[in-house]
Structure 1
Amino acid sequence: MKFTCTINIKKPKLEIAKHFEDPEALKQSQKDFLSMEHINGKKGEAGAKSKLIYKKFDLIETIIHNKLPDEFYAKYEHKSMTNTMRSKFTALNEKDTKMTTKIDYTEFKGLFIKLIAKLFPGLFKKQVDKWLVRFKAYCERQ
């Protein structure tokens, strides 16, 4: 399952990229996010792995490439699913940035999550849209 979400943020691209790398922005935009623990590899570079800790689950993030402030691409693994996320940042002018996030769910593990993905694929996109709206609000408050 693949989908794309886009949002315009009223802040310069360099500032948006800085917030994107900051775990505090994750706390503000993803409701149940608690913390991030670096596991291995050079932090912020291709191949680096981190554990993203949420209230009810953990994700393993593996950076595929980090070309911030322009783009960030990573794989996220959970016991029930695997996906990649590519976020691109495009300056619309000196003060506004377009953020485009492409999600590709590459694997669903287990009958329940497979049924949810098949019957309600819009739920996944709706959740990412909600995160982007919260991320935008956080960035614009800073």
Structure 2
Amino acid sequence: MRPGAETKRLRGWLVRELRSLRGITEHELAKAVGCARSTVSTWETRNQPPNPGNLTSLANFFGVTPADLLEGPQDACTLRDLRVHNGYTQKQIAAFLGVVVSTYCDVETGRQGLPERWVPILASLYGASEQAVRKSAPYRRSCK
């Protein structure tokens, strides 16, 4: 992990509480989300976040946002943090932006600068300010 980056942890207690309120077992939740029962147990006891697809499915199942299920500061450190925190895959973000996945990946990893025209789209998707999106881009640079 790079210095200053904070990992997002799942609020396992909240997943367990939401599951209990619905009166369902770990096995039933796993079936609804599309994972193994042991995976649900790991989420609840070790606070390990699910992959973006499962995080989205889990949030949709409970009627909450992916961000509601994760701990951590509202301002993420990187574009990847923002994307994962909101439960998106790179493929989904690329589709929203109308680009191929490799182009988005190049921006997220810093191999290419953040196009200014993407900033308002990403801010809207992530529920973040445009300034927060710009700051989360690798090397905090942008291009036009």
- Do both share a fold (TM > 0.5)? no
Structure with more of its chain in strand, by fraction: 1
Specify the structure having the higher radius of gyration (Cα). 2
Indicate the TM-score class for this superposition, using the shorter chain for normalisation. Answer: under 0.3
Structure of greater relative contact order (alpha carbons < 8 Å, 6+ residues apart): 1
* TM-score calculated relative to the size of structure 1: 0.24
TM-score for the superposition, normalised by structure 2: 0.24
